[in-house]
Amino acid sequence: MSHSSMTAGLSRRQFVQAGGALLFAAECPITFASKANAAGGGAMMNSFVRIDPSNVITMLANHSEFGNGAYTVMTMMLAEELDVDYRAIQVEAAPTSPDYYSPLFREYLTAGSVTTGSTWLPMRTAGAKARAMLIDAAAQDWGVAQAELSTEAGMVHHLATKRQISYGQLIDSIHRLKIMPPETVSLKDPSEFKVLGKPTKRYEGAAKVDGSAQFGIDLKLPGMLHGAIARPPVHGGRVVSFDATAALKMPGVVKVKAIGAGVVVLAKSYWQAQKARGELNITWDRGDNDGVSSEQFYSDYRALAEQPGILAEDIGDALGALSGADRVIESVYEMPLLAHATLEPLNCIAQVSENACTIWSGTQYQSNDQEVISRFLGIPQEHVTVHRPLMGGSFGRRSSKTADFTVEAVEAAMGESVPVKIIWSREEDIRSGHYRPLFVHKMRGSLDASGMPDAWHQVAVGQSLMQGSKHDPAYMVRGIDIYSLDGCLQEPFGVFPYGTSYQIPHHRVESHNAPRVGIVPQEWRSVGHTHTGIAYECFLDELADAGEIDPLELRLRLTKDHARMNRVLRVLREKSQWDEPLGAGRGRGMASRIYSVSPIAQAVEISVADNGDFTIDRVVCVLDCGFAVNPLGIEGQVEGGIAFGLGGAAFGNIDIVNGEVQQSNFHDYPVIRMPQMPKVEVHILPSDEPPTGVGEQATAPIAPAVANALFNATGRRVRRFPLSSQGFKLV
C-alpha cells in the first residue's frame, strides 16, 4: 500500500463501523527524530479509538506490553486529549495489518525503546480528533456554539444550560449528522496537561497483583494439546531417528512426531508431555556447529581484530596520529554470549486449518511471525491471525527474526484438529535460545599534550544482527551493521541520528562481521551498547587514567559542544557528589551513553573486599529523555534497565563447548537478585523536547560504570566479561 492511498483512504473507509461503534482515525504525520525520515518518512494513518454507544472507549494498541509500560503511556496520551480517565479505556491489541504497522519500522514491531516517541503524536491526535467530533455532534444537537462546550471524564458539558451527555450517547448523532473527522486538530499545550507528565501507575497494574493478568502461557483453549520439544544438543542439529515406544506408554501422551525444531511430544497436560519427553530415544545429526566453542570465537575474533575491517568512520588522521604518538594505549575487550532468560518461558499456541492459521503468542514482532508462518504454510499472510496476550518479559528475545518459537508451534499443530500449545522449559530457553552475540573490540588511543584523548582507533568483531535479514538495507551501511558499532561513532550513522556526543580529533572505527556460525544472534536490551558501551566507556576511562584527568571531567570537556549530554554530566557531578573522596576499599566509576537519542549517564559507588567480593552501594542516574511522559514509569524502567545490565555484566555468560551450551538454568546462568540490587537514584532532567525512549537506555552505561569503579577501587582493569570470571563477585 502506498503512503498516498493510506493517507487518502483510511479515515473515510473506517469511519462507519458495524455495530454502531466508531473508529476515529489519527491522520497525523510522524515527526519523531530523523529515524522516520531516514527510513522513508511518511504518514501513519491508523485508527486507534473506538467508542461504542454503551460508552465503552477502546484503544487499539499497535504496540505490545511486556513490562515496558506501552499500555500505560498510550492510554495516558489518548486520555489526555479525549478527557477521560486513562484506566477507563479498554485496551485491545490492534489487528496485525499494515494499517497498524509502526511508522518507524514499517512492521508490526515493538522494539528499540521507540514506543513513547513514535506514538506521542498519533495517540494524542487520535484522542483530539475523537473529541472534536463529539463536540461537533453535541453542538449541533443542542444548537449551541462549539466554543461553549467542554469535556471532562467522558462527558460533554454545556455549562450555561447545565446540560451534559456521555460520549457514547453522542455516537448516534455522529452517524445521523455524518460528522467526519476534522482534517486538522490542535493538541493541548503542555501547560494544560492533566495526565501527561504526571507520575501515573501502570495501566494493567491491578491485574498484576491478584494473579488475573493473562500471559500467553496462561491461555487454555478447548481441546488444546500441550507440547514439549526435545531439541538438538547443538544449534542446527537435526533428528536422524527416534524411538518413542516408552514415551507413548506414558500417561496422557497422544502423539510423538519429528518437526524442524526436534521431536515434539503432544499430551493432555504440559507436565505429561515434559515427563514423556525424557523417555524419548533420539539419534541426532549434530550438524555443522559441532565444533563451535566460545573460546574459539574469542581467538578467531582477536585475530580478525588485528586485520583492517570495513571502515565506518575516519575523522582526522587517527592512524597517522597513533604512529606518531610517544605513547599508545592498547586494550582488547571481550564480551560473552548472553541469554535473555525472560521469566515467562517462551511459548505459543497454534491452530492450523486448511487455509488459515491462528496463533496466540507473546511476541514483540507480530508482522514477522505472520510473514514467516504464511511462507511456511504457503497461505496468504492475511490468513494468519495473531492474538497477543501480555508477555512476562522480553528484553529483545520475543522479536525473533526467525519466528522460531511461533513457527515451531505451527508445525507441531499441523495435522492436529485441536490447538497445540508449546512451552519451553527453562533449560531449553538457556540452551537452545538466541543470544547477544559474543564481541571483541580492539582499542588503541593516544593523548595530546594536555592529557586529553587525541586519537582513537577501534575495531569491532562480532556476529551481525542484521546481515542477510530483511532489515539489511535499513540497518546495514556499506556492509556494516550499525548495531555492531552503536555508540562508537562520533557522527550520525545510517538511520541512527546521533553520535557519541564526544569529540576526539582523530577518530577511526572499523567493523568485521564474524562468520554466522554456532548460534542465532539476537537483540538484547540496549542491543549494540551491551558490548560497545563496555569497550568505549572503559577504554575512555583508561585514557583518562593515562592522561591523569578525572573521567567525569574528561567527558565534560569532550561534550562541550553537545549541550544535552553536557547538562546530564554536570547534573551527575552534582547529584553523585562526584568530587567528594571515598574511603579505603571503595571506588567510584561512571559512564555516559546515547542510545536512540536520549543522553544518559550513571555514577556508581562500590565497596570491594580483598577477595574480590564487591557490593554496589549506590547508583546515581541522570537522563534527558525529552518530555517525561510518565516519571513513575521512567523511574521503573531505569531501575529495571540497570538491574538487567548489571546482572549481565556481573555474571552473565553463555559458554559453548563442542557446539553445546554449558549452562541450563538459573543455578549456572545466574541473574541479579534482591540482595545484589543497588540503591538507584534517578534524576530526570526537565525538558520540552519530544519524548524519547527509556526502556533500554539505562542498561547501556551500568556495565562500564561498574567496571570503571572496580578499577578505581583496586587498580585492576577488567577486559573480559563477566566480572565474575575475573575474580570480582557481586554480592
Q: Decide if residue 665 touches other proteins (CB under 8 A).
A: yes
Which lies closer to other proteins via its Cβ, residue 676 or residue 714?
676
Cell numbers placing 491: 557522527
Which lies closer to other proteins via its Cβ, residue 372 or residue 621?
621
Q: How far is the CB of 586 from other proteins (least distance, A)?
A: 19
Which lies closer to other proteins via its Cβ, residue 207 or residue 657?
207
Number of residues engaging other proteins in binding (CB under 8 A): 62
Instruction: Yes or no: say if 192 and 40 are a contact pair by the CB < 8 Å rule.
Output: no
Neighbours of 476 (CB within 10 A): 21
Cα–Cα distance between 493 and 472 in angstroms, integer? Answer: 14
Q: How far is the CB of 426 from other proteins (least distance, A)?
A: 4
Q: Decide if residue 468 touches other proteins (CB under 8 A).
A: no
Q: How far is the CB of 612 from other proteins (least distance, A)?
A: 20
Piece in contact with other proteins (CB under 8 A), picked from 152-160, 176-184, 575-583, 639-647:
639-647
Which lies closer to other proteins via its Cβ, residue 66 or residue 614?
66
Cα–Cα distance between 23 and 552 in angstroms, integer? Answer: 52
Report the SS3 class of residue 366: helix
Beta strands in 632-677 (DSSP E): 656-657, 660-661
Residue 600 DSSP one-character state: E
Cα–Cα distance between 124 and 285 in angstroms, integer? Answer: 55
Q: Decide if residue 680 touches other proteins (CB under 8 A).
A: yes
Cell numbers placing 309: 575491517
Cα–Cα distance between 164 and 595 in angstroms, integer? Answer: 47
Using CB under 8 A, pick the residue from 101, 108, 242, 270 that binds other proteins. 270
Q: Decide if residue 632 touches other proteins (CB under 8 A).
A: yes
Backbone angles phi, psi at 601, to 5 degrees: -145, 145
Q: How far is the CB of 70 from other proteins (least distance, A)?
A: 11
Neighbours of 718 (CB within 10 A): 24
Using CB under 8 A, pick the residue from 163, 175, 188, 426 that binds other proteins. 426
**Hey, which residues between 162 and 201 contact other proteins (CB under 8 A)?**
201
Peptide bond into 182 cis (omega under 30): no
Q: Decide if residue 456 touches other proteins (CB under 8 A).
A: no
Q: How far is the CB of 667 from other proteins (least distance, A)?
A: 6
Which lies closer to other proteins via its Cβ, residue 201 or residue 249?
201
**Hey, which residues between 243 and 262 contact other proteins (CB under 8 A)?**
251
Which lies closer to other proteins via its Cβ, residue 205 or residue 727?
205
Which lies closer to other proteins via its Cβ, residue 339 or residue 455?
339
Beta strands in 463-555 (DSSP E): 476-477, 480-481, 506-513
Using CB under 8 A, pick the residue from 636, 685, 717, 726 that binds other proteins. 636
Assign 3-class secondary structure to 548-597.
CCCHHHHHHHHCCCCHHHHHHHHHHHHHCCCCCCCCCCEEEEEEEEEECC
Helix axes 631-651, 529-546, angle to 10 degrees: 80
How would you list the strands of the sheet with 329-335, edge to edge? 310-315, 506-513, 453-462, 439-447, 329-335
Using CB under 8 A, pick the residue from 4, 184, 241, 269 that binds other proteins. 269
Piece in contact with other proteins (CB under 8 A), picked from 457-465, 507-515, 583-591, 667-675:
667-675
Q: How far is the CB of 587 from other proteins (least distance, A)?
A: 22
Which lies closer to other proteins via its Cβ, residue 205 or residue 324?
205
Q: Decide if residue 422 touches other proteins (CB under 8 A).
A: no
Cell numbers placing 144: 449551541
Using CB under 8 A, pick the residue from 179, 643, 700, 706 that binds other proteins. 643
Opening angle at CA 86, ends 84 and 87, nearest 5? 115
Which lies closer to other proteins via its Cβ, residue 142 or residue 215?
215
Which lies closer to other proteins via its Cβ, residue 272 or residue 500?
272
Q: Decide if residue 667 touches other proteins (CB under 8 A).
A: yes
Which lies closer to other proteins via its Cβ, residue 106 or residue 202?
202
**Hey, which residues between 360 and 399 contact other proteins (CB under 8 A)?**
390-395
Residue 726 DSSP one-character state: G
Q: How far is the CB of 580 from other proteins (least distance, A)?
A: 23
Q: Decide if residue 604 touches other proteins (CB under 8 A).
A: no
Neighbours of 166 (CB within 10 A): 16
Which lies closer to other proteins via its Cβ, residue 93 or residue 504?
93
**Hey, which residues between 54 and 73 contact other proteins (CB under 8 A)?**
66-69
Q: Decide if residue 642 touches other proteins (CB under 8 A).
A: yes
Q: How far is the CB of 576 from other proteins (least distance, A)?
A: 17
Which lies closer to other proteins via its Cβ, residue 26 or residue 723?
723
Using CB under 8 A, pick the residue from 674, 686, 688, 715 that binds other proteins. 674
**Hey, which residues between 17 and 56 contact other proteins (CB under 8 A)?**
none
Instruction: Give bridge partners of residue 46 from the DSSP assignment.
Output: 26
Instruction: Yes or no: say if 537 and 591 are a contact pair by the CB < 8 Å rule.
Output: yes
Q: How far is CA 652 from CA 337, 341, 434, 616, 667, in A?
A: 8, 11, 14, 17, 12
Contacts of 64 (CB under 8 A, 6+ apart): 70, 93, 110, 363, 364, 366, 388, 391, 394
**Hey, which residues between 195 and 254 contact other proteins (CB under 8 A)?**
201-202, 204-215, 217-218, 220, 226, 251
Report the SS3 class of residue 665: coil
Alpha helices by DSSP H, listed for 211-313, are 245-248, 270-277, 294-305
Q: Decide if residue 556 touches other proteins (CB under 8 A).
A: no
Q: How far is the CB of 221 from other proteins (least distance, A)?
A: 12
Q: Decide if residue 624 touches other proteins (CB under 8 A).
A: no
Which lies closer to other proteins via its Cβ, residue 19 or residue 222?
222
Using CB under 8 A, pick the residue from 78, 253, 558, 672 that binds other proteins. 672
Q: How far is the CB of 269 from other proteins (least distance, A)?
A: 4
Contacts of 184 (CB under 8 A, 6+ apart): none
Cα–Cα distance between 443 and 650 in angstroms, integer? Answer: 22
Beta strands in 40-177 (DSSP E): 43-51, 57-61, 89-93, 149-152, 155-158, 163-166
Which lies closer to other proteins via its Cβ, residue 211 or residue 415?
211
Using CB under 8 A, pick the residue from 194, 249, 516, 679 that binds other proteins. 679
Q: How far is the CB of 206 from other proteins (least distance, A)?
A: 6
Contacts of 268 (CB under 8 A, 6+ apart): 225, 226, 252, 254
Which lies closer to other proteins via its Cβ, residue 72 or residue 367?
72
Cα–Cα distance between 390 and 718 in angstroms, integer? Answer: 39
Piece in contact with other proteins (CB under 8 A), picked from 84-92, 235-243, 508-516, 641-649:
641-649
Interface with other proteins by CB under 8 A: which residues?
66-69, 201-202, 204-215, 217-218, 220, 226, 251, 269-272, 341-345, 390-395, 423, 425-427, 632, 636-637, 639-644, 665-667, 671-675, 677, 679-680
